[in-house]
Structure 1
Amino acid sequence: MSKSKQLSFAVHRALTGVAIATAASVPALAQDAPREVEEVVTTGSRLPVDTNLITTSPVTTVSADELKYSGVTRVEDLVNDLPQIVPELTSNDSNGSTGTATLDLRGLGSDRTLVLVNGHRMGFGDPFALAPDINQIPGNLIEQVELLTGGASSTYGSDAVSGVVNFIMKDDFEGFQVDIQRSGYQHDNSAGEAQARIADRGFDQAPGDVTDGETLNVNVIMGMNSADGRGNVTGYLGYRDIKAIRHSERDYSACALRNADNPDTGATTQGAGTCGGSSTIPTGRFTDFGAGAGVDLTLDQSSGDFVDRDGLLYNYGPLNYFQRPDERFTGGLFANYDLSDKFQAYGEFMFMDDRSLAQIAPSGAFFVTNRLSCANPFLSAQQLDAIGCNDPTLVDADGFVPMYVGRRNVEGGPRFDDLQHTSNRSLVGFRGELTPNWNFDAFINFANTRLTEVYNNDLSITKVTRALDAVNDGSGNVVCRSVIDGSDPSCVPWNIFTPGGVTQAALNYIDLPLFSKADMEMNQGVAFVSGDLTDAGIKFPSADNGVQVVFGLEYRDESMVFDLDNGYNNGDGAGQGGATADVSGAVLVKEFFTEAKIPVVEGAPWAEALELDLRYRTSDYDTGVDADTWNIGGSWSPTNDYKFRASVSRAVRAPNINELFAPQTLGLWQGTDPCAGASPTLSQAECAATGVPAAFYGMVPASPADQYNAVFGGNRNLDAETSDSFTVGVVLTPESWAAGLTLSLDYWQIEVEDAISTVGQEFVINRCATAGELCNLINRNPVNGNLWIGSSSVISTNVNIGKFEVAGWDVNATYATDIGNHGLNFAMRGTLLDTWDDQPVPGGVVNDCVGFWGSDCGRPRPEWKHTFSTTWNTPREGLDVIGAWRHVGEVKEFSNDRFSVDGQNYFDVSASYYMDDLFGGETTFTAGITNILDEEPPFSGVFNTAPFSNGNTIPGTWDPLGRYWFLGLTHSR
């Protein structure tokens, strides 16, 4: 082997050794390696620092090789496994999906996590989830990912409340590299309890052994230096194709589960669920909900008669996507060129076109009518009698009887939302040296995202109502009444009263495709100067280096135009839950920021280094919001082996366009109405306070699907959120007595006030009932008090009302050692969650969510979560083996501890084989399996609501699809 190839191989071994081991801020280095000083700009600061020193705030680093050897093709899958991240929107969402992927640091929401590329802001993701869509980020071009905990608004502006996730890209590549990976899932459907539930309902079972959800990922990187050696251009192209997986392919998701009481304890426990479903069934549900003859009927497919429904439900789960099909194209370039010895021009361009399909069960007539005509020719004599047409006390003056109709449109096929996001981001900047001690950097950053959406196979409420009102035209023809009176000559009757009576013409008439489009832009300009004041004598006598400062200005203009068609605007989609209005708005902010890094002591016997870090920013928004943010940090290194750090900061999150200008719409929330059903959990007086008519106490209809209406939307009078963060930690790099070990321990605390949020619907109902507060937010049906039919709802618009306090401990450890001539590396990342308090209303109940999930706590927040990995550089030249253990701690469902999920453990294994002279270049083969034991996800119980839950579990928190395999090849020259 030549010396150059030996060096190439050694570098590869070093990288793979650190791939999984890089957990703390300082990697383990060989003892005889020279101590080189390199200056870089780290996440959380605009000043260059010595990489051998520690930042004042905790930063966790993920290397590019971790992404490669994990086998994931979606960047969010890797980052979501980190203990600091609470998974949010992923590709495993379907109902309510935006088609994007977002990140949530510390579980405070993706809108409180700032996502950067090379330290620069990304653009918007989607009009309903404005947080950046990390589908835009090419995984194969990632150099490393840095996660900074704590408020960083003083450095980057709004949104950095819980911290920052910074994707640092390979922007100085030379050569050619191609990455090809094929991956997918394999699962053995052997969950006997789940299969028994399905059999009890008579639903279709999932297949036995499945291999599905294949993904093809192809990426190319090309880079070259300029002929004069003063510049570089690095370009990339990427293609990804993800195949769909439906709920029907897994036994634990093949039916929609509901809760059931444990007969021994009176509580609902994991595994006690039964297959539920929707009462909007293919054979139709015809009921007056007690307002007329007191009937609950369906169509018998054999006799054609109306018979008692007898609790018949529709299994809406099987057709839902568990993994959305997705096709993505990416491309871009990073370039820099030295205009002179002191000035450099640089630029970034990123493009993405992503199309994803979100499929759910067929639409239907979701009780959109409240009466039926006794003159409908499709109704038989038996049917007319069954619904009360022969009882003159029930027939009104127009010949109608009170009757709600729920009928699933299985003939029309499943609904699917066709979501296409096209984004581009362009950045151009200049940086350089003004004087030997002063530098400058100025750039403009433009980002645009366009959404094109087509929602297919919904039904028109208006047309369904007309199509159900059929009459005889006097010539023996059955037509719509609207044809006779001329209000809708194109109407075609929808015959759901006769087996096989639905015609294609009727389906074509009632079908309602829905269209929307959005255009979201961000224009940012930043300019700052940084200076070293050492030569000016501005320094502490006890330090060799002087104060470093930054002064800068920022301008940011964000806008959105969201246009929807008439079907959305008028709320005519039967499966939409209400009207959605167009929205447009813009927010402009002007900011000044400054930063100072102050060495206090250097080279003293008791302090190798003692340093202060000060930052300040003032922001002026054209919405009337003014904000000041700051950070005070410090680090102390008694020796090179011990380093202590601490920081306190004030951060803000200004209301974004969606929160300010989003239309107020009628949607669904998952849970229970404590005043519904035959045995309400609240008293008659308490239910009366929430709007239940006295005569209907104990008779309020409960939603069969546990879904109720709520009004969601924006508020133009919102103020900024404020947060105070505190971090303190220690980093150990004990080269003198434990060479190869790096250990960091950090405590962090974040308190958010005036949080922009909505108040939980069940909380509103209970607060009204018990304290007489928030009752104006409840709008029950005035007839029978329900909260799920028509426009009845709980008001849940955005307000500055909430308060959060979260705190915990992060531990990061790496250890690198040699076994003979071969390396063994260990790495562990863990987070102990100490506090996660949510106070929705000032003075109200504080929800302690550590170890819980559910309607008042949101997604699971385990007390402990960790990843542990080992990398072995085997005696076989070029072969490395990586094993990993991922643990998600025990959690309980928040309401009465009804569900308890044990801690989940996942074991992964992968291997890479490096060849330095194959096909004329360097080649690496990778293969692996994650969740090698094919662990099934736990049942999420009552908190089975979109978009964070899907398939009776919570994807992202738990592995949802079974065993994942991958095969990859990387070739470079």
Structure 2
Amino acid sequence: MAMEKVLSRSVRMICASGMALGMQAAHAQQADPAAEAPMTKVEVTGSRIPTLNLVGASPVTTITAKDIKTDGVRNVESLLNNMPQVFADQGGNVVNGSTGTATVNLRGLGAERTLVLVNGKRLPMGSPTNTAADLNQIPAPLIKKVEVLTGGAGAVYGSDAVAGVVNFIMQDNFQGLQIEANMSGFNHQQNGGDIAKLVETRGASNPSQFSLPGDKGWDGKSRDASLLMGSNFADDKGNATLFFSYKKEDELLQADRDFSACTVSSTATGFACGGSGTNATGRIQALDGPNKGKVYTVDSSGNARLFNNALDQYNFGPINHYQRPSERYGFNANIHYDVNDKMRIYSNFSFHDDRTVAQIAPGGIFGNSATLRNDNPFLSQQLKDTLGITAANPVEVVVNRRNVEGGGRQSEYRNTSFRELFGVQGDIGGWSYDVYAQSAKVIYSQSEQNYFSSQRIDKALDVINVNGKAACASGDAGCVPYNVYQLGAITPEMLGYLQIPGMRKGSTEQQFQGATLGADLSEYGWKLPTAKDGVGVSFGFEHRREKLELMTDAATQAGDLSGSGGPTGGVSGQYSVRDYFGEFKLPVLQDMQFAKLLQLDGSYRHSNYSTGNKTNTFGLNVIWSPVDSVRVRATYQKAVRAPNLIELYTPQGNNLFDMDADPCAGTTPSASLAACANTGVTPAQYGLISDSPAGQYNYLQGGSTSLQPEKAKSKTFGLVLTPTRDLSMTIDYFDIKVEDKIGLVDPATTLDKCLTTADPRFCSLITRDRTGSLWLFDNGRVVATQQNIGGQHTRGVDLGANYAMRMGEWGRFGLAFNGTYLDKLTTEEIKGEGEYDCVGYYGANKCDQPNPKWRHKVRATWGTPWNVDLAVTWRHINAVKLQDLSDNPLLNGGSTEPFAGTNAVDRELGKRDYMDLAATYTYKRNYTVMFGINNVFDRDPPLTSQLATGLGNGNTYPSTYDALGRRIFLSATARF
């Protein structure tokens, strides 16, 4: 009936309009049971026009429920990351920089430029710290299929569909009872290698920090169970479907893999076990006195010696999570009722509650200053002599020290979402209508544990002698002096005073109401004489309100949590938007010579934002089939992305950015005094500036209410061939260009521009602290607030093929292929200052994660005659080079030599090929058991010391590569 909701169930669309990845494609040209009955009007992804034509102009890739099972992954972000069109983003392997959510990033343009829908309706913002939709809200067992449209669909679906749309179609018309249970874990053999040898060598003299793990028979376990039940009622006029789910994942540490058992740096001869200068024994630098600028550490007797990077750096990696532990509950309810054959009432309610913990290395003291006096009871005479401390001459020092006694810093996230949709759809005459309203809310909390208070550090380090005992000079009640000048001297009382919790909480809310009206106007005679089908139209209106609120406690707001990256203030804001949109479908030629079909489609949307912005978007599409077996398709789309609430309203405050080194720091700065003077360095400071031991520096972040919407233009051109009923092939060219991109100029770029050009536009954004550094004190920083900067541009080609063959008594065979050739992925960071291309490169701050030129996924399936289905999948990721090897000076730091400043071990992340196996046995159609192995040969990931914070973790990129080893999964399903 005409009220059938959103997206075709016909498998024929998979071949004609997209590419399936599993056995569904094997039947692409065979009879569809639904086609035996009179066909119903439906909507296809990328259009709201109810139509009998199940072919769209935009390329759509389809993942079926069977594909999801065969992939063996139970988190949605990993399922999507296996697709060549998707780039890794937030997920369970992200720790330092985690938001506690999971997001999808189409085409490498950013998760905020990918619109996520469930049954054609948009998901709410993921959390008050990350507005991209949280995929954790979507239970994998309930997914019927996923349709991924790339190339922009802003005129159809509104803001954010710049890179494309991911539409999850869920089970909503179930009858019976289904129980499903899944379990998986990693079976990993420690394969040795250079890093393992380094750890073994270092462990001989320092076993507390360097130890090799043994082989893992079964770790990083994941368990989930679900219950799906449904029934028709009222003489089959209605259906109610209920779904309950539970999922739990165990933690896995970097210490559990030999290639991540130490955090590596690199040298000309290979990897080295590096780490942080904020170490376990303390790092004490004199700011004045006879040994000004020198750095020391202490032993168990309190005696000082010069700090030795090779010996004293802290191995911070092993305690970091490689896989975050999580626990999740979910509930979904769908109900619809046909009042008559012209009206259906429908409703959906979904709930999810997700808890996860991200653990990184211990915090502590990250560069607090203290004045050491001669009567300080904690100081040995040897230390005082070394620093030149006398009764008449106290010495100011900067202290760095890890809180190894307190344990790793932990951020516990909890996200709870509620979403309710209510609607009425049906027919009035020849017109189909849908009137709907949705309300959604995400409740967020984040608690921080094992952090020191910066204010209390200052007080605990300011020590005086009171009757021969150490006391806080402040005299504050409860203040406990902190002894960092002798190993083994830390007491529980000291930790009890210094360690404080942090708290953030908030919510996002989304409400929208809308209505669409569409028809095939052939019933009114609106069709061209050269076509048999009439004009299709659709009109609609939506009103959407987005609200966000983030509250932080006093310590978080003041940036008092040492090692947390700076102050995080509250954010509060909202906006509303009114959208008016329409589409048309015009068959021009049909059933003619060289024109089996020639069709034009168009779409338009006008958006009026309460922030004062008004936007217009449109799309034009062409479909031409000279014969049944050949189809040519082309689209041109203009899309927009309005600034989100975080970009608009985030208050200004310090954060951290990564940089290999400050060119003006160290005893022999790489930049000249004249260049460094442009950034605020004085002659007295030059050559004495301490560089950040962690390679992290301060920048000033913040939103702006003057931001303008981004504009994007996307083009696709494709060819679909179906030479036989069992074979289909697609090739689609895509080209997406974003202008007036909302973002920030990389602070490292600002610093470099100032050093090389002395341009006041950049130099005015740099402030150095009283020591000349950009990290030691809060006022040393680079301004990098949100603005409309340059743009992004990506283009490439998607290739796909599906083949199916019946083998008589031997069952059926299927082969599916999906690959993407990436030709361009450029960024113009500053308008008019040039652009850089990250295709084939990776690296911190610029290209970030690996951007391979070619990725593909190939799956062969055999449906045997013995109720067993077998599948083998080959996943391939091309090699990528370090961005410093580019000939573009914006990527290589201005180097004229391709290998200058790079070490051989970092220059390339090698290609990876993964083989996956799966077998499914079905008994009496009611009971199904699946067993599978992913990464059968247990390949280790490619390794590097040049990681981008967030997506980089454990010396590699675990969201891109199979970093945790061979994965074994087992699934059991019972249907009644």
TM-score, structure 1 normalization: 0.92
Quick check: 782-791 or 188-197, which moved more? 782-791
What SS does the corresponding residue of 1:964 show, helix, strand or coil?
strand
Distance 2:22 2:596 in 1: 26
Cα shift at 1:498: 3.2
What SS does the corresponding residue of 2:78 show, helix, strand or coil?
helix
Q: Which residue matches 2:940? A: 936
Cα shift at 1:290: 6.9
Q: Which residue matches 2:106? A: 105
What SS does the corresponding residue of 2:198 show, helix, strand or coil?
helix
Whether the aligned pair in 1 keeps the contact of 2:22 and 2:63 (CA below 8 Å) is no
Quick check: 422-431 or 124-133, which moved more? 124-133
1:42 aligns with 2:81: no
The one-letter code sitting in structure 2 at the alignment partner of 1:219 is S
**Per-residue Cα deviation, 1:838-869 (whole angstroms, up to 9, x for no partner):** 11011112111110111211221110000001
Distance 1:290 1:63 in 2: 67
Quick check: 336-345 or 647-656, which moved more? 336-345
Cα shift at 1:25: 12
Equivalent residue runs for 1:597-616 within 5 Å: 597-616=585-604
Q: Which residue matches 2:918? A: 910
1:687 to 651, 654, 676: 676
**Per-residue Cα deviation, 1:161-188 (whole angstroms, up to 9, x for no partner):** 0000000111111111111011011211
- Number of aligned pairs? 928
1:255 aligns with 2:259: no
Q: Which residue matches 1:347? A: 347
Equivalent residue runs for 1:263-342 within 5 Å: 272-288=270-286, 293-294=291-292, 296=294, 298-311=296-309, 312-342=312-342
Whether the aligned pair in 2 keeps the contact of 1:669 and 1:945 (CA below 8 Å) is no
Distance 2:768 2:192 in 1: 41
1:859 aligns with 2:853: no
Q: Which residue matches 1:868? A: 858
Cα shift at 1:127: 1.8
Do the aligned partners of residues 788 and 179 (structure 1) sit closer, same or farther apart at CA in structure 2, a change above 3 Å counting? farther
What SS does the corresponding residue of 2:754 show, helix, strand or coil?
helix
Whether the aligned pair in 1 keeps the contact of 2:944 and 2:956 (CA below 8 Å) is yes
Cα shift at 1:706: 1.8
Distance 1:666 1:24 in 2: 52
Whether the aligned pair in 2 keeps the contact of 1:779 and 1:787 (CA below 8 Å) is no
Q: Which residue matches 1:6? A: none
Distance 1:478 1:930 in 2: 59
The one-letter code sitting in structure 2 at the alignment partner of 1:745 is I
What SS does the corresponding residue of 2:514 show, helix, strand or coil?
strand
Cα shift at 1:289: 5.5
**Per-residue Cα deviation, 1:644-683 (whole angstroms, up to 9, x for no partner):** 1101010000000011011323222222223333443333
1:409 aligns with 2:403: yes
Whether the aligned pair in 2 keeps the contact of 1:529 and 1:550 (CA below 8 Å) is yes
Provide the identity percentage.
Answer: 39
Do the aligned partners of residues 25 and 608 (structure 1) sit closer, same or farther apart at CA in structure 2, a change above 3 Å counting? farther
Cα shift at 1:198: 1.9
Whether the aligned pair in 2 keeps the contact of 1:368 and 1:790 (CA below 8 Å) is no
Do the aligned partners of residues 840 and 492 (structure 1) sit closer, same or farther apart at CA in structure 2, a change above 3 Å counting? same
Cα shift at 1:239: 0.4
The one-letter code sitting in structure 2 at the alignment partner of 1:324 is R
Cα shift at 1:425: 0.7
Q: Which residue matches 1:945? A: 948
Q: Which residue matches 2:898? A: none
Distance 2:152 2:191 in 1: 46
Quick check: 86-95 or 694-703, which moved more? 694-703
Equivalent residue runs for 1:327-726 within 5 Å: 327-390=327-390, 392=392, 395=393, 400-435=394-429, 437-474=430-467, 476-483=468-475, 488-672=476-660, 673-726=662-715
Do the aligned partners of residues 874 and 532 (structure 1) sit closer, same or farther apart at CA in structure 2, a change above 3 Å counting? closer
Cα shift at 1:429: 0.5
The one-letter code sitting in structure 2 at the alignment partner of 1:238 is S
Whether the aligned pair in 1 keeps the contact of 2:715 and 2:734 (CA below 8 Å) is yes
Q: Which residue matches 2:4? A: none
1:213 aligns with 2:213: no
Q: Which residue matches 1:893? A: 882
Whether the aligned pair in 2 keeps the contact of 1:247 and 1:319 (CA below 8 Å) is yes
Equivalent residue runs for 1:753-792 within 5 Å: 753-773=739-759, 774-787=762-775, 789-792=777-780
Do the aligned partners of residues 75 and 31 (structure 1) sit closer, same or farther apart at CA in structure 2, a change above 3 Å counting? closer
Distance 1:73 1:441 in 2: 33
Is there any run of 5+ residues in structure 1 with no aligned partner, and where? 1-10, 263-271
Whether the aligned pair in 1 keeps the contact of 2:945 and 2:955 (CA below 8 Å) is yes
What SS does the corresponding residue of 2:524 show, helix, strand or coil?
coil
Whether the aligned pair in 2 keeps the contact of 1:292 and 1:402 (CA below 8 Å) is no
What SS does the corresponding residue of 1:505 show, helix, strand or coil?
helix
What SS does the corresponding residue of 2:405 show, helix, strand or coil?
helix
What SS does the corresponding residue of 1:147 show, helix, strand or coil?
strand
What SS does the corresponding residue of 1:411 show, helix, strand or coil?
coil
**Per-residue Cα deviation, 1:319-370 (whole angstroms, up to 9, x for no partner):** 1000000000011111111112211111111100000000011111111224
Do the aligned partners of residues 360 and 853 (structure 1) sit closer, same or farther apart at CA in structure 2, a change above 3 Å counting? same
Whether the aligned pair in 1 keeps the contact of 2:301 and 2:486 (CA below 8 Å) is no
**Per-residue Cα deviation, 1:95-148 (whole angstroms, up to 9, x for no partner):** 121111000000000000000000000011122211011011011111111111
What SS does the corresponding residue of 1:478 show, helix, strand or coil?
strand
Do the aligned partners of residues 391 and 309 (structure 1) sit closer, same or farther apart at CA in structure 2, a change above 3 Å counting? farther
Distance 2:212 2:415 in 1: 33
Cα shift at 1:33: 11
Whether the aligned pair in 2 keeps the contact of 1:289 and 1:701 (CA below 8 Å) is no
Cα shift at 1:550: 1.2
Distance 2:336 2:34 in 1: 31
Cα shift at 1:48: 2.1
Whether the aligned pair in 2 keeps the contact of 1:691 and 1:785 (CA below 8 Å) is no
The one-letter code sitting in structure 2 at the alignment partner of 1:953 is T
The one-letter code sitting in structure 1 at the alignment partner of 2:870 is V
Cα shift at 1:472: 2.7
What SS does the corresponding residue of 1:369 show, helix, strand or coil?
strand
**Per-residue Cα deviation, 1:421-455 (whole angstroms, up to 9, x for no partner):** 001111001111122x1121111111100111110
Distance 1:713 1:416 in 2: 25
Is there any run of 5+ residues in structure 2 with no aligned partner, and where? 1-10, 204-208, 887-901
1:156 aligns with 2:164: no
The one-letter code sitting in structure 2 at the alignment partner of 1:792 is G
Q: Which residue matches 2:927? A: 923
**Per-residue Cα deviation, 1:930-954 (whole angstroms, up to 9, x for no partner):** 0111111111332x23311111111
Quick check: 367-376 or 233-242, which moved more? 367-376
The one-letter code sitting in structure 2 at the alignment partner of 1:409 is N
**Per-residue Cα deviation, 1:597-632 (whole angstroms, up to 9, x for no partner):** 111112112211111111000001111111000000
Distance 2:569 2:847 in 1: 29
Cα shift at 1:754: 0.1
What SS does the corresponding residue of 1:240 show, helix, strand or coil?
strand
**Per-residue Cα deviation, 1:1-24 (whole angstroms, up to 9, x for no partner):** xxxxxxxxxx9xx99xx9843687
**Per-residue Cα deviation, 1:216-267 (whole angstroms, up to 9, x for no partner):** 11011111111321011111011001000001001111111123235xxxxx
The one-letter code sitting in structure 1 at the alignment partner of 2:276 is S
**Per-residue Cα deviation, 1:502-557 (whole angstroms, up to 9, x for no partner):** 22111111111001101110011111211222232222111122111111111010
What SS does the corresponding residue of 2:676 show, helix, strand or coil?
helix
Q: Which residue matches 2:823? A: 834
Do the aligned partners of residues 440 and 131 (structure 1) sit closer, same or farther apart at CA in structure 2, a change above 3 Å counting? same
**Per-residue Cα deviation, 1:542-591 (whole angstroms, up to 9, x for no partner):** 11221111111110100011000000111111111211111100011111
The one-letter code sitting in structure 2 at the alignment partner of 1:866 is H
Quick check: 303-312 or 459-468, which moved more? 303-312
RMSD: 2.1
Q: Which residue matches 2:6? A: none
What SS does the corresponding residue of 2:600 show, helix, strand or coil?
strand
Cα shift at 1:301: 3.5
Distance 1:109 1:235 in 2: 34
The one-letter code sitting in structure 1 at the alignment partner of 2:595 is A
Distance 1:175 1:23 in 2: 23
The one-letter code sitting in structure 2 at the alignment partner of 1:118 is N
Cα shift at 1:34: 6.8
What SS does the corresponding residue of 1:161 show, helix, strand or coil?
coil
Distance 1:291 1:628 in 2: 66
Distance 1:941 1:663 in 2: 33
